């Protein structure tokens, strides 16, 4: 699978639009109040998670990261998993990354779950 993360975890740093962008590229925004330690993005058709796209980096609260795919990557349906600094995790299945440009994660204290808002 041709997935990689643009190295900069950004508070205010954005990437200029590029003709090289793959159609599955998206920005992940952390609004959970916690640090995200790991991020996994795998094709829905895959039975296992790929590598942690964050590598050694973490994604703090109110931070965002651009997640990019290799140009020419096929398929649109992907699953997303995040692991927080305390080891808890949250997952979302069948996200159409060909139509999603931004995924913002919010902790819902009342429900005890993380919700994903896509744009």
Give 17-72 pLDDT, tens digit per residue: 444 678 999 999 999 999 999 999 999 999 899 899 999 999 999 999 999 998 88
pTM: 0.82
Q: Which domains does the chain have, with CATH numbers?
A: 3-8+23-118 (2.60.40.2890)
CA separation for the pair 8, 90 (Å, rounded): 23
Instruction: Report the chain's C-alpha Rg in angstroms.
Output: 13
Phi-psi region of 75 (alpha: psi -120 to 50; beta: other; left: phi over 0): left
Upper half-sphere CA count for residue 110 (Cβ side, 13 Å): 0
């Amino acid at each position: 699978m041709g997935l990689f993360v643009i190295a900069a975890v950004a508070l205010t740093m954005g990437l200029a639009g590029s003709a090289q962008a793959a159609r599955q590229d998206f920005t992940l925004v952390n609004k959970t109040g916690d640090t995200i330690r790991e991020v996994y993005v795998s094709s829905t058709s895959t039975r296992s998670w790929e590598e942690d796209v964050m590598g050694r980096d973490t994604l703090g609260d109110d931070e965002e990261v651009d997640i990019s795919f290799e140009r020419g990557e096929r398929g649109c349906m992907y699953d997303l998993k995040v692991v927080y600094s305390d080891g808890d995790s949250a997952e979302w299945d069948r996200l159409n990354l060909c139509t999603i440009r931004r995924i913002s994660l919010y902790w819902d204290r009342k429900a005890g779950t993380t919700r994903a808002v896509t744009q």
